[in-house]
Structure 1
Amino acid sequence: MRAIMLMFDTLNRHFLPCYGCEWTHAPNFQRLAEKTCVFDNCYIGSMPCMPARRELHTGRYNFLHRSWGPLEPYDDSAIAMLSASGIYTHLVTDHQHYWEDGGATYHFRYTSFDFIRGQEGDPCYGDVEAMRGVDKINYPASVFKQAMDQVNRAQIKDERDMPQAKTFASGLEFIQKNKDADNWFLQLECFDPHEPFCVPEAYKKWYDDAYEGEPFDWPGYGRAEADPGKRSHIRKTYAALLSMCDHYLGKLLDLMDACDLWKDTMLIVNTDHGFMLEEHDYWGKNIMPWYNETAHIPLFIWDPRSRVANERRKSLVQTIDLPVTLLEFFGLEKTRDMQGHSLQEVIRTDTPVREDALFGVFGGHVCVTDGRYVYMRGIGEGKNEPLYQYTYMPMHLYNLFSVPEMRTVELAEPFSFTKGCRLMKIRSGRWVKSDTHARIGYVDADHIHESLLFDLESDPQQLHPLEDEALEKRMLEKLAVLMTENDAPAEQYERLNMTRKMGG
């Protein structure tokens, strides 16, 4: 048995033809849908990039206890479990966050790994003059990344030099070399179509883009610019990069056809989250409410045992289900602390594995959906506190926790999933004075005071929040049950103006 996970970052389901988009060019995603089981009700869990990847290892929610950070010593990594059981695991990725402090413990869980450098602001090329006057200490990360991105782009002479092309070449080489071997798992992970939307001209031909302004392919997170020309340009540039992803997806499907891998190889095609591309007047993710453009994600799975293809599934599933599905496929049991479920029977007969799903970001809205209604719990009139990080790995995205943050450390009693370990309880750096540019959370408190309730059946675009006291109470009870099952810290209930005993 073999398994391949092809993971794209920031893959927006609303731009895929197999999910109803009529204007993007993505024939291989349509081809993929015809060869796999397509999930219509898949949701994120913890946001953004590395919190989602922690879920891909641990099969449990991350965001109520921790923001962006490494795997913890007490975590159960499904990848490490596969490796320890004789399954060869290999990671090929151009996701530069694995190289940073906040992603430092993931890649060594694999038997082997191959990093492709140069995406976004990956600091992999030494160019003193180009970076003179811009450093990591005195400038915000966004300034440093954009300057470094220009250095990276200068290395690209043609499409073969682009990180996505190199990543697929390495992944396809692994498959070709090991197509006759048994018991392996490949995680082929592409940073695209994450911003910046750097894409060759060849893929822009599918889109009539009349934009003539200054080069612009990196929208900031926040309110979308009012200029309709820029808005259209960003949507079409994202779509062009999606078409590039589609092209390389086709190469994987071609190789699976040529090597007859469909007979015994599981294929999972997934993403960590979507992206706002002017919907609700936003660009980006993280700082706005978790609308479906970011939270409701695509998922495709081919299971060679049931051989279900060209069928849709309505059951509510999440990222935390994927590591458990992989373990079950290779004959391994999930651990006690894993909250996900194997999707084998969902694929086979659409048998539900949950009634409700929890999702959100550290310090932001805490959300719940039952597949029809989405409820986003805000903080009301408060200041978004108390808020604490629980960790043995005091690392943010780009840097270690600051000394002022570490001075707030106290030892917390063990949680149900920490195997008896008492963790460091560290006050959220948003409320700790520090001279560093640490990214503590991803939420501007101004965005999260209001609770939001939507009916996706009557309002799929989430344009009209409901005011229904009885329904809100019912969804709040569902949220409390899931938070209790996740052993949420007591202060999260206080922050969200909830009663801890609800649902308990």
Structure 2
Amino acid sequence: MKAIMVMFDSLNRNMLPNYGCDWLHAPNFKRLQEKTVTFDNCYAGSLPCMPARRELHTGRYNFLHRSWGPIEPFDDSMPELLKNNNVHSHLVTDHQHYWEDGGGTYHTRYSTFELIRGQEGDPWKGHVNESVNIETEVDHTRNPIMKQLFEQDQINREYYKEENAHPQSLTFKNGLEFIEKNHNENDWFLQLETFDPHEPFVSYEEYKDLYPHDYEGKHFDWPPYYFVQESEEVVEHGKMEYAALLSMCDRNLGKVLDMMDKYNMWEDTMLIVNTDHGYLLGEHGWWAKTVMPVYNEIANIPLFVWDPREKARNTRREALVQTIDLAPTLLEFFNVDIPETMQGKPLRGVIKEGEKIREAALFGHHGLHVNITDGDYVFMKGPATPENGPLYEYTLMPTHMRNMFSPSELHNMELTEPFDFMKNVTPLKIKAGKGLINPYQYGSKLYNLIEDPKQENEMQDMEVELRLTKALVKLMKENDAPMEQYERLGLDSAKELTIEDIKAYREREERSGELEELAEFDMKRSVRNQIIGLMNMTPSEERDQTLQALVSFLRQQNKTTILESDLYEFKQQHLQHMDDSMFDYFMGLVGRTN
């Protein structure tokens, strides 16, 4: 038996013909649908990239215990379990996060691996003191990290001006070489994983020509992780650039299908086509992912599976499945024992007859909303207070995405009792950073996916919220979630919840955002969130002084209602040390309430 996983990154399923898109050119995704089972209710679990890959390896949620980070010493890794049971596991990827500090232990779990350089801001080709001069719709140079990534990306692009040199092309080329070499062999798993269609949307004229449109603006193929500020013309152009790259992905997917046809591999080879998460292309007024609520365009992801044992093809399944199910699915396929630590379930029964393997699914980012869906509703449970705490990281591998934890972050770390999946290994408990966004600003949200599939209208239904909150607590317990996660969300894990509790939680969330020092002033919720954000941007020892200065400033201006413009004027008079562009960036971001 053999298995091939073709994994894309940031694949918005609403752009695929398999899920209703009637204008995107993707004939091989259509062809894929004819040969596989299409899953309509597949959800991501832990977001974004490397947390999703930890789930792919371990078959369990990552986001309640830690953020972005490596495979841990106590983790059960699916490709390593295959390797240790005489199934050759091979990774071919251009996903550059694998060779950063926060992903450096993943690729070494495979029997063999090939790493293709050059995507996004991968520090690949060295051009010393070479300036990058390109006018773009988005100023990527405001943020020092983005500036470095953007400039490196422009250098990298110089080395794949032709499609055959593009990292995606090389990834598929090497993956196809592995299949060509080994199609007659038995017991192997290939993970053929490309970074595309993740931004930046780099493709070629052949694909861009599929989507003719009028565009007179500046260069734009790298949307910001921010709300949409660009014109409709720019947004439409961004979608077309994404579509062109997705058509390039489709072309390469077709090459895998061709090879399976050529060698009649459908008889003994499992095929999985998947992604880590989706991507917003202007939906809900947002670009990309991570700084907004996890809407379905991000969480509800495409999944296609061919199981040669069941031979179910050109059919759909409604059962609720998740990324955590892929590791046990592959282990079961190769008759390798599934560790007790894995929470996911093999998909064979779902593929065969639509077996229901879960009532509900959790998903989210570490420290943001804890989200739950039963397929009919989505409930996004936000923090109970503006402090969004307490919150800790539990790890033996203290690294962020591109760097290790700083010494200051580790000064107050402590050893703590292991969780049930840690094999009696005592982890470090480290206070988590605040991150880019405080989910408190959005509040808790409930959506009816049947009546409102685009999640345009928040609903209030205490019975539904009670049911989903109970399911959320149940799944958190099954995941052995840290106790402070319940406290952060305003939940009592030991209490049998009632409708009155749900009403009390909602009232407490609203009251906790009140700023007693500013009680004499009226303000919109968005302005209140901006003031909370301003306090979070201020060193803790200066917050009381800054808040009092704001009150004095408003009284001097004879204000009864606080407007956003008042905060900008206050900044210019009293907070000159804050960088103007960064202030604008974060104040705009924290002012969002949806």
TM-score range, shorter chain: over 0.9
Show CA shifts across 1:252-290 (max 9, x none): 101110011111000000000000111110001011001
**Out of 452, 458, 463, which is 1:465 matched to?**
458
Verify the 8 A CA contact 1:289 1:448 in the aligned structure 2.
no
Contact 2:18 2:29 in 1 (8 A): yes
**1:78 match:** 78
Q: 1:321 aligns with which of 304, 325, 332?
A: 325
Q: Tell me what 1:434 maps to.
A: none
Q: Conserved in 2, the CA contact under 8 Å of 1:413 and 1:423?
A: yes
Question: Once the 2 structures are TM-superposed, how far is the Cα of residue 304 of structure 1 from its aligned partner?
Answer: 0.3
Residue in structure 2 matched with residue 129 of structure 1 by the alignment: 129
Q: Which amino acid aligns with 2:381?
A: R
Given that 1:358 and 1:366 are in contact with CA atoms closer than 8 Å, whether structure 2 keeps it comes out as yes
Q: Which amino acid aligns with 1:485?
A: E
Aligned partners of 2:473, 2:131: CA distance in 1, in Å? 49
Counterpart CA distance in 1 for 2:146 and 2:488 is 29
Q: Which has the larger radius of gyration?
A: 2
Q: Is the 8 A contact 2:386 2:440 kept in 1?
A: no
Q: Which residue of 2 aligns with 1:492?
A: 485
Judged with a 3 Å threshold, the aligned counterparts in structure 2 of structure 1 residues 14 and 502 are, in CA distance, closer, same or farther, namely: farther
1:31-180 correspondence to structure 2 within 5 Å: 31-130=31-130, 140-180=144-184
Please say which of residues 361-370 and 205-214 is displaced more in the overlay: 205-214
Alignment-mate amino acid for residue 12 of structure 2: N
Question: What are the Cα deviations for residues 165-203 of structure 1, in whole angstroms up to 9, with x where unaligned?
Answer: 110000000000111111000000000000000111110
Letter in 2 for 1:156: Y
Partner of 2:340, secondary structure, is coil
1:111-132 Cα shifts (integer Å, max 9, x gaps): 1100110000000111112269
1:209 Cα deviation from its structure 2 partner: 2.1
**C-alpha separation in 2, matches of 1:448 and 1:222:** 15
Distance 1:99 1:10 in 2: 19
Equivalent AA in structure 2 for residue 341 of structure 1: K
Please tell me whether residue 281 in structure 1 is matched to residue 274 in structure 2: no
8 Å contact kept, 1:131–1:148? no
Does the CA contact (< 8 Å) of 1:477 and 1:502 recur in 2?
no
Among candidates 447, 451, 457, match of residue 444 of structure 2: 451
Cα distance between partner residues in 1 of 2:161 and 2:48: 31
Q: Which runs of 5+ in 2 are unaligned?
A: 133-141, 498-594
State whether residues 82 and 88 of structure 1, in contact with CA within 8 Å, keep that contact through their aligned partners in structure 2: yes
Q: Comparing 373-382 with 486-495, which one deviates more in the overlay? A: 373-382
Task: Please state whether the residue corresponding to 1:273 is helix, strand or coil.
Answer: coil
> Is 1:352 aligned to residue 356 of structure 2?
yes
Are 1:305 and 2:309 matched, yes or no? Answer: yes
In structure 1, what is the Cα distance between the partners aligned to 2:439 and 2:267? 52
Which residue identity does 2:494 align to in structure 1?
A: K
Provide the rounded CA distance (Å) in 2 between the counterparts of 1:37 and 1:334. Answer: 23
| Equivalent in the alignment of 1:6 | 6
- The Cα of 1:411 is off from its aligned counterpart by 1.1
Secondary structure of the structure 2 residue equivalent to 1:322: helix
1:365·1:448 contact (CA, 8 Å) conserved in 2? no
1:288, 1:447 within 8 Å by CA — same for their partners in 2? no
Q: 1:351 to 1:123 in 2, by over 3 A?
A: same
- The range that moved more, 463-472 or 30-39, is 463-472
Matching residue of 1:227? 231
* 1:4-38 Cα distance to aligned partner (Å, 9 max, x none): 00000011100000111111111100100000010
Aligned partner (choices 255, 261, 284) of residue 257 of structure 1? 261
Q: CA deviation at 1:311?
A: 0.4
Residue deviations 1:421-463 (CA, integer Å, cap 9, x gap): 1110000123xxxxxxxxxx4x501565400001100000000
Q: Is the 8 A contact 2:368 2:439 kept in 1?
A: no
Choose which of 373, 390, 406 in structure 2 pairs with 1:386: 390
State the partner residue of 2:582. Answer: none
Measured in 2, the distance between the counterparts of 1:447 and 1:194 equals 28
Q: Report what 1:189 is aligned to.
A: 193
CA RMSD in angstroms, aligned pairs only: 1.5
Equivalent AA in structure 2 for residue 452 of structure 1? K
Decide whether the 8 Å contact of 1:373 with 1:453 is kept in 2. yes
Distance in 2 between residues matched to 1:44 and 1:200, nearest whole Å: 30
Determine if contact 1:83/1:89 at 8 Å carries over to the other structure: yes
Please state whether the residue corresponding to 2:159 is helix, strand or coil: coil
Provide the rounded CA distance (Å) in 2 between the counterparts of 1:449 and 1:497: 15
- 8 Å CA contact retained: 1:364, 1:448: no
Q: Which moved more, 1:494-503 or 1:109-118?
A: 494-503
- Name whichever of 488-497 and 380-389 sits farther off: 380-389
Structure 1, unaligned runs of 5 or more: 133-137, 431-440
Q: What are the Cα deviations for residues 310-342 of structure 1, in whole angstroms up to 9, with x where unaligned?
A: 000000000000010000000012111100000
The Cα shift of 1:94 comes to 0.2
Q: 1:43 to 1:446 in 2, by over 3 A?
A: closer
- Name the aligned partner's letter for residue 467 of structure 2: R
Q: Distance in 1 between matches of 2:495 and 2:445?
A: 19
Q: Residue 91 of structure 1 contacts residue 114 of structure 1 at CA under 8 Å; is this kept in 2?
A: yes
> Where do 1:394-409 residues align within 5 Å?
394-409=398-413
Are 1:331 and 2:335 counterparts?
A: yes
Contact 2:293 2:442 in 1 (8 A): no
Write 1 or 2 for the structure with the bigger share of helix: 2
Contact 1:93 1:116 in 2 (8 A): yes
- Cα distance in 2 for partners of 1:271, 1:195 equals 14
Tell whether the 8 Å contact from 2:384 to 2:440 is kept in structure 1 after alignment: no
For the Cα contact (< 8 Å) 1:388–1:427, is it kept in 2?
Answer: yes
In structure 2, relative to structure 1, the CA distance for the partners of 1:408 and 1:342 (3 Å cut) is: same
> How far has the Cα of 1:157 moved from its partner?
2.8
CA separation of 1:503 and 1:174: change in aligned 2, threshold 3 A: farther
Give SS of 1:269's match: strand
Moved more, 184-193 or 420-429: 420-429
The structure, 1 or 2, with the larger RCO (C-alpha pairs under 8 Å, 6+ apart) is: 1
The amino acid that maps onto 1:285 is K
Q: Aligned residues, how many?
A: 489
The answer to whether structure 1 residue 239 and structure 2 residue 239 are counterparts is no
Q: Which residue of 1 aligns with 2:371?
A: 367
Amino acid in the other structure paired with 1:480: V
1:269 aligns with 2:273: yes
Residue in structure 2 matched with residue 501 of structure 1 by the alignment: 494
8 Å Cα contact 1:121-1:146 kept in structure 2: yes
Q: 1:25 matched to which residue of 2?
A: 25
TM-score, normalising length from structure 2?
0.81
Matches within 5 A, 1:200-219: 200-219=204-223
Q: Which runs of 4+ in 1 moved over 6 A?
A: none
Report if aligned partners of 1:453, 1:472 keep a CA contact under 8 Å in 2. Answer: yes
Letter in 2 for 1:455: N
Counterpart of 1:246, as a letter, is D
Does the 8 Å contact 1:377/1:451 carry over to 2?
Answer: yes
Q: Deviations over 1:466-501 (max 9, x none)?
A: 111121111111110011111111111111111122
Percent of residue pairs bearing the same amino acid type: 55
8 Å contact from structure 2 (residues 17, 30) kept in 1: yes
CA distance in 1, matches of 2:483, 2:239: 41
Contact 1:481–1:502 (CA<8 Å) still a contact in 2?
no
Point out the more displaced range, 279-288 or 375-384: 375-384
- Paired residues of 1:89 and 1:110 also in contact (CA < 8 A): yes
Aligned AA for 2:370? V
How much has 1:381 moved relative to structure 2?
3.3
Contact 1:387 1:427 in 2 (8 A): yes
